[in-house]
Amino acid sequence: MEKSFIMVKPDGVQRNLVGEIVQRFEKKGFTLAAGKLMTIPRELAEEHYGEHKDKPFFENLVSFITSGPVFAMIWEGEDVIKTARKMMGATNPAEAEPGTIRGDYAVQVSMNVIHGSDSSESAQREINLFFNEKEQVDYQKTMTDWV
């Protein structure tokens, strides 16, 4: 089954949005496969956002993501990578539709509450960056007929 790396960013943790965000993914019908509260070391942040290292916002992005605890998760389910991106909404919250997480809870592009992998390659890469094997739980929901 497909997996995605999803993370509540420091603004989301500070604003008590962890429960709300977890609930949206649970209610949608995805399965939580791993989760932990952590403060990201600088080297990990630079690696995670490596694709943006030449962008003007890179320094701000790394400072922000390391500024306080994040809630890192792995969510599992059919088409979870694409669907999670839809649930998150556009990168810039000003363009994110109401009903999406960023559309409902964020204003600024630099503090947009949530991260989600954008492809199967980045999901695999990010899962391996943030979680070891022991932290990943492989289980089946007992009542799966409805979703």
- How many other β-carbons are positioned within 10 Å of the β-carbon of residue 90? 15
Binding-residue pattern over the window 6 to 45 for ligand RTP, x denoting contact by CB under 6 A: ----------------------------------------
Q: Please, what sign has the CA dihedral across residues 106, 3, 57, 46?
A: positive
Angle subtended at Cα 123 by Cα 117 and Cα 129, rounded to the nearest 5 degrees: 105
Applying CB under 6 A, which part among 19-27, 30-38, 112-120, 132-140 lies near ligand RTP?
112-120
User: What whole-number distance in Å separates Cα of residue 85 and Cα of residue 51?
Assistant: 18
Of 10, 12, 35, 116, the one binding ligand RTP by CB under 6 A: 116
Question: Residue 64's closest CA among 10, 101, 5, 108?
Answer: 10
Applying CB under 6 A, which part among 13-21, 35-43, 106-114, 138-146 lies near ligand RTP?
106-114
Active-site annotation holder among 45, 115, 126, 127: 115
- Contact footprint for ligand RTP (CB under 6 A): 52, 57, 61, 91, 109-110, 112, 115-116, 118
